[in-house]
Amino acid sequence: MNSPLQSTVVAERRHSAPGESTAATNVLVVGVGGQGVIMISKVIALLCQQHRLQVKQSEVHGMAKRGGVVFSHVRFGEQVYSPTIPAGEADVVLALEWAEGLRWLKYLNPETGTFIVDTQQIVPPFACRNRKPGGLPGYDQLTVDQIRTRLPGILALDASGAATELGNPKAANTVLLGALSTALEFPAEGWQELIAGAVPARTVEINRQAFNMGREWALHPPTEAPRLDKSPPPASVQTLERSVHLEITDAWCKGCDICVKTCPERCLVLNAHQVVEITDPGACTGCRMCEWLCPDFAIRLHSSIPEPE
Amino acid sequence: MQGTEHSDFDIRDYLRTDLFPHFMCPGCGHGIALRALLWALHELDISMNNLALVSGIGCSGRTAAYVDTNTMHVTHGRPLAFATGLKLARPDLEVVVITGDGDCLAIGGNHLIHACRRNLDMTCVMLNNEVYGMTGGQVSPTTSNDRFTTTTPLGNHEPVFDACELATAAGASLVGREITLQTPSLKDLFKTALSHRGFSFVEVISDCTEIYGRKNDLGNSTEMILKQKSGIRPESYGNAVEHPFRPGDWKTGILTRVERPEYGDSYRQHIATKQRAVKTVTK
């Protein structure tokens, strides 16, 4: 039976649960709904069961339809008590999305942990809350190189790009599984067998290639700017210098409240005379919603740059 | 980028600003519809000297009076009849009729079907707020079922008129419908209608907050305007899903577009032929 790669280090861990003879190996799989987080953890769990190890797994799922956060804790060893991994004790954090990986990085064991991450970026809608032209999105701006200074052993690969080249972007999780297989010392054949059973029959071949590609890359990381080690592109947008100014004709406003209620930035109010007023001119993005929907033509928006057609 | 984007459109350039603020109630959607119409005219670069706005009686009829152009404010239900005469006498003018649901469908229903039948090159804008607002809130042909008005104290029990179906059946060559909430789409629909050669009929789903909304507990003007969006079924969605909406939803977008001979042209041609024939006979 193969023992886990870092079992010696794991045994020295101070926070192991009382009564645990051999401390568990912790794998945290994170990503965005629909990427195959559950499939990865299922394969790991089945593999451990084949090797007669005890496995506990707990997950948050069901976010696939919403592109929401999905994570899965997998703990295995001779004896496992708790199904969840405490912060700072994950031996492997496997992230299927760049910012999700960074978000869960605090779970990684800072000394011995392995961080395997796909560099693809899926920018969630809430990262675009700043609707002003030139506003910075709320997406994490850290690059692979910045993380590498903290975690020299980071395995950052463009798994999605590689899987797309193989012909199916959905196989990105298998590419990462291939990389993960080098961190957990189970034989490669066992992985292959289980993956073939977990994926649809028509994608078995593509998943086999994806697994081999990921494994090959992790075992022999290319030295110079390889295709799989791509820094995520900066998520910032071009900054536009634009000033907007709302001109309100007080005498025409009848206080119908339409602009106040429909303003996406909520920067309009009705004052004591039931006339609309702008509370925060800096918040106005110049979307023209108030101008369009004012039935009394009391609002005119002046913008320093013309609208794009 | 075109030279006529929205940022250089100031609606006040097109209004008789000395008459403002206008008479309409707070939150009345007619103002939004008027903005979209003027915006479309601005983008099409139609001069106010070449435009004739004809309107009937009612809240919708009053909107034309606020535009600084050639306007005719005529009898109840007859703007289409007056506009037909105007367009035949002055084919160089861009004739736009602004009318309401009661004005166009009840009192002027006869004029509507014959205007559609003739297919004269003009645009009819029907502002549908489901009620006779100005005359005190009586039931109109488009009042939804079970709604209270001053003449239906127990709720309206008459079937609802679909104006676009009527116009299509009567022969209008371009028929469309849009809500006021989607002002840019409404503007685009107006642009299509104004550029179309033939009779174009545009129904605008507007709101009457004070007379109709209050009596039926439909909320304030914002709520009424936002609710419009849940009651429509845009044509552009196609038939991807078989029954995506409730059966009573209004179809929006361009509903009919056919090429038919324009009446003004064919009429003048016909007259010329006949006059030539008469001349040859008398010679």
Q: Which residues of A touch B219 (CB under 8 A)?
A: none
Encode pLDDT of A107-118 as tens digits: 999 888 889 998
Higher per-residue confidence, A62 vs B136: B136
Q: What is the side-by-side strand order in the sheet with A155-157?
A: A54-60, A69-77, A25-32, A92-95, A114-118, A155-157
Instruction: Using pLDDT thresholds of 50, 70 and 90, give the confidence band for residue A137.
Output: low
**Span A221-246, average pLDDT:** 57
Question: Looking at this protein, which amino acid is placed at residue B48?
Answer: M
Contact residues of A toward B, CB < 8 A: 251-258, 260-262, 288, 292-298, 300, 303, 306-309
Interface test with B, best of A242, A244, A245, A254 (most B CBs within 10 A): A254
What is the CATH architecture assignment of A7-219? 3-Layer(aba) Sandwich (3.40)
Interface test with A, best of B68, B180, B222, B229 (most A CBs within 10 A): B222
Q: Where exactly does CATH 3.30.70.20 map onto chain A?
A: 244-303
- In angstroms, the separation between the Cα of residue B225 and the nearest Cα of chain A is 8
Encode pLDDT of A147-174 as tens digits: 888 888 788 888 888 888 888 888 999 9
Cis upstream peptide for B21 (omega within 30°): yes
**Span B229-247, average pLDDT:** 64
Statement: residue A140 has pLDDT above 90? no
* pLDDT at site B279: 87
* pLDDT at site A296: 93
For residue A115, count CB atoms less than 10 angstroms from its CB and return exposed for 0-12, middle for 13-18, buried for 19 or more: buried
Using alpha carbons, select from B236, B182, B180 the residue that is nearest to residue B207: B180
- Residue A111: φ, ψ to 5°: -90, -45
The Cα–Cα gap between A143 and A149 comes to 10
What is the CATH architecture assignment of A244-303? 2-Layer Sandwich (3.30)
- Nearest C-alpha in A relative to B19: A252
In a 13 Å sphere around the CA of A234, the CA atoms on its Cβ side amount to: 5
Instruction: Using pLDDT thresholds of 50, 70 and 90, give the confidence band for residue A237.
Output: very low
Q: Which residues of B touch A294 (CB under 8 A)?
A: 31-32, 35
Per domain, the residue ranges of chain B are: 6-282
In 3-state terms, what secondary structure has residue B247?
A: coil
Does B13 lie at the interface with A, CB-CB under 8 angstroms? no
CB B66 within 8 A of CB B37: no
Instruction: Using pLDDT thresholds of 50, 70 and 90, give the confidence band for residue A241.
Output: low
CB-CB: which of A254, A260, A292 is closest to B26?
A254
What is the CATH architecture assignment of B6-282? 3-Layer(aba) Sandwich (3.40)
Question: Looking at this protein, which amino acid is placed at residue A173?
Answer: N
The Cα–Cα gap between B10 and B16 comes to 13
Encode pLDDT of B51-63 as tens digits: 999 999 999 999 9
The Cα–Cα gap between B22 and B29 comes to 13
Pairing of strands A25-32, A92-95: parallel
Encode pLDDT of A17-40 as tens digits: 444 445 789 999 998 888 888 899
Burial A129-142 (b: 16+ CB within 10 A, else e): eeebbeeebebbee
* pLDDT at site A1: 39
- In angstroms, the separation between the Cα of residue A294 and the nearest Cα of chain B is 6
Question: Per the structure block, which two tokens stand in for B135?
Answer: 């005359």
- In angstroms, the separation between the Cα of residue A126 and the nearest Cα of chain B is 23
Q: Where exactly does CATH 3.40.920.10 map onto chain A?
A: 7-219
Q: Which residues of A touch B6 (CB under 8 A)?
A: 288, 307
Lowest model confidence (mean pLDDT) among A21-25, A268-272, B171-175: A21-25
